[in-house]
Each structure stands twice: as structure tokens, then as C-alpha cells.
A = this chain, B = another copy of it.
Amino acid sequence: MYHSNMLNAEKTRELIEEFKITVEKEIIDLKDGNSRILAQEIIVMVDVPPFNRSAMDGYAIIADDVSTTSESNPKYLEIVDEVGAGSISNHHLKLGEAIQIATGAQMPSGADAIIMEEDIESYNGKIKVESPVSYNNDVALIGEDLKKGEIILSEGQILGPHHLSVIASAGYKEITVFKKPDIGVIITGNELVEPSINIKPGMIINSNKYALYGVIEDSKAVSYVKQCPDNKEELMNHVIEAVKKYDAVITTGGTAISKGDLIVGIVEELGEVRVHGVSMKPGKPFGFGIVDKTPVFMLSGYPVAVAVQYDMFVRNFILKLQNIHKKMDMITVIAGENVRSSPDKYNVIRANFKEDEGIVYPIRTKAGINKSVLMSNCYIIAEEGVGMIKKGEKCNILKYSSLKVC
């Protein structure tokens, strides 16, 4: 019976946050790093560029050589070599000479400026220069992009494509990232069957499984889903196995009364139940416990409650296992209609926020209507003590788009 010691949402979060997390790391190939979380500093190991190089297709010259040129006083330089990207010229450039050079190619020794191909004429093995150029004109200097020893990224950075590119340039082919947490999911319920058009009397399609595949993936973790009948021994074996193998375990179903609080009883027997019952609507029969040092989140069987419980208590925990510390990013907007909420509960109400109006409209469906998730884009969060929110009054919302870490 969880009614005796029902906690509020804040206390529930506190108890979950008290759990001491061990984050794990792994080394991966840089090419697999997109959207992973960096678990090391990136200290530049090589200067980028690694040498002075031409930033243009053109000719490497000595700037002093053409300092007095003009249209009426041109200078002719002899083309003594050519160098493409990836090659080097062995010729040491002297006054009166030019080396044809491609973008990206290393500057020949002796040269200190580039003249763009488009800016000059060449014939008979010579180029005609009609205006001066400054030192290092169109030269990309050694280390100007990345300097050896410079720290460019820190632990905790969520990596995107261009981080990968810069990390490659810094000399890394492998990186250390936080391991994707492995999340064991145990779905309980004798009534649950796979999606089909032929459902036996009394049976229900197991939709939680599919929602959980998705939300766990969106939490950058990996899910391992098992289904289990409402049978104490079998369920207990599943829990024992799951807490051994996975970084966290999520169960659905069996948290309410008539199934004998099956899962809660098992967690109590094997370990410790820290939360059972939260004064929240929907999602009251939420449980949190620890078995064999592994956190076990006990969610309801109802899809609507599962979604809310995951978003309120599980998602940020799973992110934290990867060293992503995320808060509930609530914003305050105006209610477009009266919002019914119970002052003695933490109310999580599906709603539509119209960005351009700055107004939120609660959706009106019966409790338990799973489809409501698709008809809404945010939660209105009405904490204990708030009660009815009148049309035109301020209220706090949590946009679904703010939950996800991209």
C-alpha cells in the first residue's frame, strides 16, 4: 500500500538524484563520434596547418622582389618549379624566381607570399607582376587554425559533425566518450500482446514497449527489452538478471494494488524501495528502488502515465549516466483557457503551446488517452498549491522539444 507514504514530485526527484552514479567511458573510432559525449579534453597534438601553405592557386614568390612593381614598371619572374597539394618543392626560391603552387600546398623554402593565378599573366615560362604584395599574402600560417598544445574541447561536450572535423585535425583518430548506458526494460502484464488485428478477448497491445524503445534511444542510451507475465518468480528472476547486466532497469506495470504491488514487493525483497507513490497526476504509482547497486524505476502500466513518469523522473537520470546534466527547462507563458489542476498534486497536463501567440491551450481528453501525446507539444506543470489556473493567468510549461538532447 503506497498511499501511506506518498511523496511529492520534488522529494521524489531528490531521492533519485541522491543515487550515486558511476559514469563509464569507452574509446571509439572518431568516425562514430557524432552525437556522443566527449569524456576527455582535446588538446591539439599537431599545428593546423602543419606548415605555412598557400591559400590560393597561384605562384609562390618573395614579396620584396615585387615591392616596386606597377603597371608601368612590371617585373618578370621565372617559373622554376611547380608544386601540388601533398607534394613539396625541393627548390629553394631565390630573387627573380616563382614557383607555381596549388591551394593547400606547402610554401617552398625562401618564398614568403602568394600571387593569385587570377591576378597575373604568365607566358614563356615567366609571370608578369604589376603590383606589390604584402608578406604572407594568401599564405595560411602554421598553427593559425589550431595551435599545438591548445585545449579546444572539454569533457562533457556533445559532439556534432564539426567537432569531429576539428578533433581529426587536432590529430585524434580515436576519442574517449561516455559509454551509452545500457537500460534493461521489463514489461509486465499477462494481458499484453504484440500488435495485431486479431486480439484475443481481454488482451491489450503492448504499446509501452515501443514508446520505451524510442524514449531510451532519444536519451542516447541502449535498451534491452524483455516481457514477463505477472508471475512473482519469473519477474524476480528477470530483475535479478537485469540489475546484474544493465546500468539501470525500468519496469512497467505491477506497481498498483491489485497485482499485489508485484514489482515493488520484489524490489523490496531484493533490495530497497525508496519511492513508491508520488502525489502526481497522472503517474501516481511510480516507484524507485535499488537492487544490487542498480537503480530500478518502476513505472505504471498505463502508457500516458509511463510517458509522464519517464519525462519527470527517468530521462534526466539516464542522461546523467552519460554526464549530461539537464534541468527541466520550464518557461512561463499565458493560459489560453482555464486549466484544471488539483492543488494537492503535481499536475502534468498535456497542452499545445502556440509559439507566436505565447499562449498555451490544455487539450481536453479523458485521462488515459494515449493519442493525446500526439495532439500536444508541451506539458503544463502545475505544482502543489497551484490549483485551478484561470484563462489569462501565467502558467509554467515544459516543451517536449526541450526534453530531448540533440
Q: Which residues of B contact A48 (CB under 8 A)?
A: 205, 370
Would you give the shortest CB distance from A90 to chain B, in whole angstroms? Answer: 11
Contact of B371 with A166 in the complex, beta carbons under 8 Å: yes
Known contacts A301-B104, A369-B145: A374-B163 contact under CB 8 Å: yes
Q: Which residues of B contact A401 (CB under 8 A)?
A: 406
Contact of A210 with B30 in the complex, beta carbons under 8 Å: yes
Kindly identify which residue among B160, B166, B406 contacts A207, using a CB–CB cutoff of 8 Å.
Answer: B166
Contact of B258 with A102 in the complex, beta carbons under 8 Å: yes
Contact of A46 with B199 in the complex, beta carbons under 8 Å: yes
Contact of A161 with B85 in the complex, beta carbons under 8 Å: no
Contact of B258 with A84 in the complex, beta carbons under 8 Å: yes
Q: Is A209 close to B, CB under 8 A?
A: yes
Kindly identify which residue among B35, B84, B102, B166 contacts A370, using a CB–CB cutoff of 8 Å.
Answer: B166
Q: Is A72 close to B, CB under 8 A?
A: no
In the complex, the chain B residue whose C-beta lies closest to that of A87 is B202
B interface footprint on A212-229 (CB within 8 Å = 1, 0 otherwise): 111101100000000000
Q: Which residues of B contact A201 (CB under 8 A)?
A: 51, 88, 106
Question: From DSSP, what is the main secondary structure of chain A's interface residues?
Answer: loop
Kindly identify which residue among B160, B190, B307 contacts A84, using a CB–CB cutoff of 8 Å.
Answer: B190
Kindly identify which residue among B49, B88, B192, B301 contacts A103, using a CB–CB cutoff of 8 Å.
Answer: B301
How far, in angstroms, from A79 to B102 measured CA to CA in the complex?
A: 91
Known contacts A45-B197, A46-B205, A204-B50: A85-B191 contact under CB 8 Å: yes
Q: Is A196 close to B, CB under 8 A?
A: yes
Q: Is A328 close to B, CB under 8 A?
A: no
Q: Which residues of B contact A84 (CB under 8 A)?
A: 190-191, 230, 258-259
Q: Which residues of B contact A30 (CB under 8 A)?
A: 195, 210
Q: Is A368 close to B, CB under 8 A?
A: yes
Contact of A57 with B209 in the complex, beta carbons under 8 Å: no
Which of A3, A46, A85 lies at the interface centre, i.e. has the most chain B CB atoms within 10 A of its CB?
A85
Kindly identify which residue among B57, B213, B374 contacts A166, using a CB–CB cutoff of 8 Å.
Answer: B374
Kindly identify which residue among B55, B87, B211 contacts A164, using a CB–CB cutoff of 8 Å.
Answer: B211
Q: Is A351 close to B, CB under 8 A?
A: no
Q: Which residues of B contact A173 (CB under 8 A)?
A: 194-196
